[in-house]
Structure 1
Amino acid sequence: MRRVLTTAVLGLSLLGAAACAADPAPSAAAPSSAAASAAASSAAPAAATGTKDKAGTCAAFNELAFSPKGLAVLGATGKIIGAALGDEAKAKEQIPLLGKAIEEYRAELVKISADTADAELKAALEADLAMVAAGGQAVAAANGDLNKIIEVLESTALDFETGRTARICQA
């Protein structure tokens, strides 16, 4: 349990550092849902065909971290952990919110990936998308079992802040 709380605190710290390093750029129009679906279903990273350079892509990635969709995963995690300490039934009520938050975060990453023109970031985003998808699958596979959900939260499956994209954007 301490590991999860430590991860949450460190995650918030990293989010703050990422925001300070971000150089927000105006965002271009969002890609069509067909383009987003194609990017998400591709097994190998597609060629970078978007409009945003590295700075623009990193700005969009860092903005996602502080958006309601980005913070929803952390919020749901905190609610599950907090409730698990005192009331297991309340913690179980939060599990569907975690799954939904992960899916919304993944959908936003798909959009960012589709709109990058930087090949290195495209590959990093695709790797991070695979990590997020695996985290979502692990939560779904836990089938509401709180102990299994806690195991997923303590693992690196949902450790978005240390993904490849975050490392590139912080450099």
Structure 2
Amino acid sequence: MIVVNLDVTKMKNLFLLFVLISNVNFSQTKEETIEWLNLKLESYGDNSFMGTYQVEIKDDSDWGEILVFTKKSWNPLLEKSTYDYYSFLPRVISAVNLSGKNRTNNTLDIFIISNSKSIYVHKEEEFISEIGIHMKNGHNEMTERIQKGFIHLLKLMGNEINPKKDFFKD
């Protein structure tokens, strides 16, 4: 029988090393994060009125990786779908905030905000400073998780931003 005698310090260091290694191995890739975001946006985005949302990464020969955000809306008067395409470089995003400013029922929405008018709107051929993602009522916890997913994706793409703290909550 072999007896191993490790002191407490060595055990703590070994445990810490194990925790660090396990965190590195379980971080989602860009592709996995995009897939998760699209799945959650389909399930929890307010697609009944505001449309459906989708995010993807495109490689541009001049700019490198860009994010393309698509919003598909159904127009009952015209009986057809309309598409809005937004594209931006990950580094121009300064915040991914939660807000219920457009709602009266305390439902959180997500706002992707650029540091200037740096989000290109393909339909209007102009630049804007924010994209609003309207969420279904009663899913604020999932909305917070989706916000963290966007922040994680931006971090994976080289833009590490910190979410705005709610001093009354955090």
Q: TM-score band, normalised by the shorter chain?
A: under 0.3
Q: Which has the larger radius of gyration?
A: 2
TM-score normalized by structure 2?
0.24
TM-score normalized by structure 1?
0.24
More RCO (CA 8 Å, sep 6+): 1
The structure with more helix, counted as a fraction of residues: 1
